[in-house]
Structure 1
Amino acid sequence: MQTVKSNAGDDGDRHPLFGGALSAVIPHSAKDVSELREIPDNQEVFVHCHTDQSLIVELLDFQSQVDDQHAAKYHFEDIAGSNKALDPGTFEVAGIEQLPKSELAMSVCSTAWLLTGTQCVSKFNEEAKNQVTLHLGLFRLPQFTTDILITFNDPLSISPASSSAAGIGSYPTEPWTVQDFHRLLRSLKLHDPGLFG
């Protein structure tokens, strides 16, 4: 598994999040889903214009009952439950690693973690299941009773019967890479702690 390389000061192409309280470098070809439909107040959601990839930046309650080293897996399993992917063989954690704070712009986090795993999920509760690699970045902010979770959904295989299959591969646009996701994690920055109430 690749680690996030240091470049915490990389400020190119920053995108404001949550009204500018946070910012990060969002990958190319990203479409803000809030322009298409309503998104919960605790989320920022982006989709790749020409692939089925997506990115979610989420503000969640700090899970004080979960040790730091198990927190990313806790959130991964919570996503699996939401995706109805908790059956045996439908989800798997490939690896978890701690991210050095010296490589991150999010200096106020107590710890940061990177998890990679796979889930078999249905889109819009369809019968067809797609195999998706999930890359999770977790920033723990106990002083704000907040976990910031960033999820990169990267489809491995899409069922021909899935609504996601329409149009995939018909555009020459480059898909997002793990390096794009790592750059986003490195660049995430807090500008206004008032975001957390």
Structure 2
Amino acid sequence: MSTFKSTELFGGALVADLPSTFSDISTIRQVPDHQEIYLDPNGFTNVIIEVNQRVPAEDASTDMEALKYHFKDIVATETDEVKFWSEDTASLTKMPDTPAFVLFATTHPVEGDNRAKDDFTGIMLILIRLEKQTTDILVAVNVPHIPGEYEKDTINLDQQKIGPHLEAGLAIRKHILETFEVKDWSLFAADE
């Protein structure tokens, strides 16, 4: 089981516990200003935190539609087969009145995609909706499954057998839900 550490995001405006072994990608490559990316140096799992403009009601009339809207924005659905396994409301332990939603999906490269290096990627999303700030915070825990790096017989998603890598990813998502907090509301331009 991973150990976690409190991690300041966006200059300390946001805080969440992330696995203590994960590294900030911005120390080795440029990352867009609206993102923070942390990578497991001993594997392939990563956590991406994005501060986005809130999806307007005309593009997504429900919160779950907004969650899928963001999902489609981050996944190359034209080159991947996508399967949604679960979606639900969630609770932020430190911000219990803030609407939050979760989704678990997998992407599989389509047959004949010569670029594909992975068998599939598990994607565990958290959407945190800040209506007054017209902001959606998206947290993606991405768990690529690379041939030879996992035991295929440990996974059968149709039978809810997710294997150790996805179990670890879900534990990371759960820990983020328990520890995520906004410390500095001035991060959001529309804050009153």
TM superposition score category, shorter chain reference: 0.7 to 0.9
Where does structure 1 differ by over 3 angstroms across 4 or more consecutive aligned residues? Answer: 174-177
Does structure 1 residue 144 correspond to structure 2 residue 133? yes
Q: State the TM-score, normalizing by the size of structure 2.
A: 0.77
**2:132 aligns to what SS in structure 1?**
helix
Q: State the TM-score, normalizing by the size of structure 1.
A: 0.75
Indicate how the Cα distance of structure 1 residues 144 and 126 shifts in structure 2: closer, same or farther if over 3 A, else same.
farther
1:118 to 91, 106, 109: 106
Identity rate, percent? 28
- In 2, the alpha carbon distance for the partners of 1:152 and 1:62 equals 20
Does structure 1 residue 76 correspond to structure 2 residue 71? yes
- In 2, the alpha carbon distance for the partners of 1:159 and 1:21 equals 38
Alignment of 1:92-103 (within 5 A): 92-100=83-91, 103=92
What's the RMSD between the two structures over aligned residues?
A: 2.4
**1:148 aligns to what SS in structure 2?**
strand
Aligned length: 165
Indicate how the Cα distance of structure 1 residues 121 and 187 shifts in structure 2: closer, same or farther if over 3 A, else same.
farther
Residue aligning to 2:8: 16
User: Is this contact kept in 1: 2:5–2:20, CA < 8 A?
Assistant: no
User: Is this contact kept in 2: 1:105–1:187, CA < 8 A?
Assistant: yes
In the TM superposition, residue 108 of structure 1 has moved relative to its aligned partner by 5.9
1:181 to 163, 170, 173: 173
User: Is this contact kept in 2: 1:108–1:141, CA < 8 A?
Assistant: no
Indicate how the Cα distance of structure 1 residues 13 and 159 shifts in structure 2: closer, same or farther if over 3 A, else same.
closer
- In 2, the alpha carbon distance for the partners of 1:137 and 1:179 equals 13
For structure 1, the residue ranges without an aligned partner over 5 or more in a row are: 1-11, 161-167
Residue aligning to 1:45: 37
Indicate how the Cα distance of structure 1 residues 97 and 126 shifts in structure 2: closer, same or farther if over 3 A, else same.
same
For structure 2, the residue ranges without an aligned partner over 5 or more in a row are: 151-163
1:91 to 82, 88, 91: 82
User: Is this contact kept in 2: 1:30–1:48, CA < 8 A?
Assistant: yes
AA of the residue aligned to 2:181: K
User: Is this contact kept in 2: 1:106–1:187, CA < 8 A?
Assistant: no
Does structure 1 residue 158 correspond to structure 2 residue 146? yes
Q: Describe the superposition over 1:79-131 as per-residue Cα deviations: whole angstroms up to 9, x where unpaired.
A: 22xx3x335x711111100013xx5213463x100100001359xx9712421
AA of the residue aligned to 1:68: D
Residue aligning to 2:157: none
Q: Which has the higher contact order (CA 8 A, sep 6+)?
A: 1
Does structure 1 residue 133 correspond to structure 2 residue 125? no
